[in-house]
Amino acid sequence: MTPHDVIPEALVNAALSLDASLSRADLVFTFGETRDPTHGDYATNLALTLAPKLGQKPRAVAEAIVARLALPPAYVSKIEVAGPGFINFFLAREERAAVLARVVAAGPRYGRANGGTARGTKVNVEFVSANPTGPLHVGHGRGAALGDAIAALLEWTGHAVTREFYVNDGGAQIDKLARSLWARVQQCAGRAAEIPEGGYHGDYLKELAAAILAREGRGFADLPEEEGVSRCRAIAVQSQRAEQDADLREFGVRFDVVFSESQLYREGAIDQALAELARHGVTFERDGALWLRSTAFGDDKDRVLRKSDGTYTYLLPDIAYHRHKRERGFARAIDVWGADHHGYVPRMRAALRALGYGDDFLHVQIVQLVRVMRGGEEVRFSKRTGEFVTLRDLFQETGVDAARYFFLMRRGDAQFVFDVDLAKSQTEENPVFYVQMAHARMSGIFRVAAREPAQVTADGVDLGALTMPEEIDLLNELTAFPGLVARAADALEPHRITGYLEGLARIAHAWYHKYRVLGEVEEAARLVLARAVRQVLANGLTLLGIRAPDRM
């Protein structure tokens, strides 16, 4: 039980006792850490929001609530009504230090939710989902880090999460890839051949073509064109998928499910989706094509599902895919998409409405494209010209930890400039090193003391010895962590965790620099504090998929 559980509960009970007509739904208020220590440790605006409903002055309501507040004995040292009607709580010293016992007891699980409303809810997080037409670039890396962290946040708050990768292995892009590869095979065999219009010019197809000829023999180039293209298609998809998987694995991202578009065709899911849309009466024919009446569901124009040439647009398999997710039992589907797809959101949402799904089923998290800076200049990349900044290039240069951290330290929907030089630097300016260094320093204390952090507990230790301002700050920060994780998960915003870690690391560095642990009269208490700080730094980093090293 943390102050975040205890005090709000007491507030609710006190408020309800004020007036018989009040119900829990009337009590809308915030409770949280204060920014200014003179306002105590925690504050609530309950009286301010309640006053209009009761027709009384906020400060009078606040006084009435305080008078009826039933908190455990010696829980707070002071409660005051301040400003326009805030209620400020000053935690008793023993209660503040009690967080250390909670951290020690929970260990790597500190910050995970162990109860609540959405326990075990099945959530599907689909991310990266790069077409198998080439290597992963830095934008995919950002999506990978973000999707993985969002999935982790949901796991930490008790959801049953499936990490999923969708492979577009049908459609025109793959056809172009296959024909581009076939052209490279011809060129490699010494024949004149052109990369088709809109095809792929990258060197990786040259290398793949050479490998094919080496493996299959030069007769491969003599196959009839359609057979050659067909075999190139299978080889190209398989090869690109294998490379993407290898990159992702090294980047620390693992998927539970890799789902192929072709599976939807094989299972008849496309036709089923089409039939269900027809059954809902939301399709119509015009100009030889089959359309979805998406304007009836918030889209700004109707959309083609089946083109006049009989083939399907991308929308239909995508509808079938999300219907498939629903039928697999997921209560929510979170899709992490690149910014270049954001115009696609309204029609997807409209399609799911047409199927009768609630708007809370699909959440599309847009991830803005990444610009890469090195040596003060922007590094350009383009699939068209074959010039790449691949994800692999990036994390091999900066390290996986730095790359992941950088991708996560900004909101996903904000534009982002990746400073390669900063990510590589091993100084305080680099936030990931700064945070990891704080963890390493806490570890260093135990190394010098020749003690295992796990063996240091709060049992029998006088935690009242922790009285310095930095120590009070640290205790408050540690207390705030579980609530922060919950809010970050709710908002699907991992960058809140990096911000928290930098703040915690800052105080930890200041504390470390200013006070000694070993050999001081406060040693026992400070060792417990160091252990708890180390644990929470590690938990936050681990959640984000970043290592917490014991030495740098």
Q: Calculate the dihedral angle through the C-alpha atoms of 136, 139, 143, 148, rounding to the nearest 10 degrees.
A: 60
What DSSP element (H or E) covers 373? strand 370-374
Q: Which two tokens stand for residue 507?
A: 């105080």
Q: What is the 3-state secondary structure (H, E, C) of 311-360?
A: CECCHHHHHHHHHHHHHCCCCEEEEEEEHHHHHHHHHHHHHHHHCCCCCC
Residue list 477-506, contact with RNA (CB under 7 A): 480, 483, 487, 490-491, 493, 495-496, 499, 502-503, 506
| Cβ contact 364:147 at 8 Å | no
Q: Calculate the dihedral angle through the C-alpha atoms of 29, 30, 31, 32, rounding to the nearest 10 degrees.
A: -170
User: Phi and psi dihedrals of 377, rounded to 5?
Assistant: -125, 150
Of 27-35, 234-242, 452-460, 535-543, which part binds RNA (CB under 7 A)? Answer: 27-35
Question: Least distance (Å) from RNA to the CB of residue 497?
Answer: 11
Question: Least distance (Å) from RNA to the CB of residue 254?
Answer: 24
Residue list 253-292, contact with RNA (CB under 7 A): 286-289
**Is 309 one of the binding residues for RNA (CB under 7 A)?**
yes
99 versus 212: smaller Cβ distance to RNA = 99
43 versus 152: smaller Cβ distance to RNA = 43
Residue list 119-158, contact with RNA (CB under 7 A): 131
Residue list 234-253, contact with RNA (CB under 7 A): none
Q: Which of 437, 474, 532, 537 binds RNA (CB under 7 A)?
A: 437
Q: Directed axis angle between helix 93-106 and helix 523-543, to 10°?
A: 50
**Is 298 one of the binding residues for RNA (CB under 7 A)?**
no
312 versus 381: smaller Cβ distance to RNA = 312
Q: Which residues pair with 232 in a beta bridge?
A: none
Per-residue binder mask for RNA (CB under 7 A), 30-69, x = binder:
x-xxxxx-xx---x-x--xx--x-----x-----------
21 versus 38: smaller Cβ distance to RNA = 38
Question: Least distance (Å) from RNA to the CB of residue 124?
Answer: 19
| Cβ contact 529:471 at 8 Å | yes
Q: Which of 99, 253, 403, 445 binds RNA (CB under 7 A)?
A: 445
**Is 84 one of the binding residues for RNA (CB under 7 A)?**
yes
Residue list 367-426, contact with RNA (CB under 7 A): 368-369, 409-411, 413-417, 426
**Is 515 one of the binding residues for RNA (CB under 7 A)?**
yes
The C-alpha atoms of residue 160 and residue 120 are separated, in whole angstroms, by: 5
Q: Directed axis angle between helix 400-408 and helix 431-449, to 10°?
A: 120
Question: Least distance (Å) from RNA to the CB of residue 435?
Answer: 10
Three-state secondary structure call for residue 253:
coil
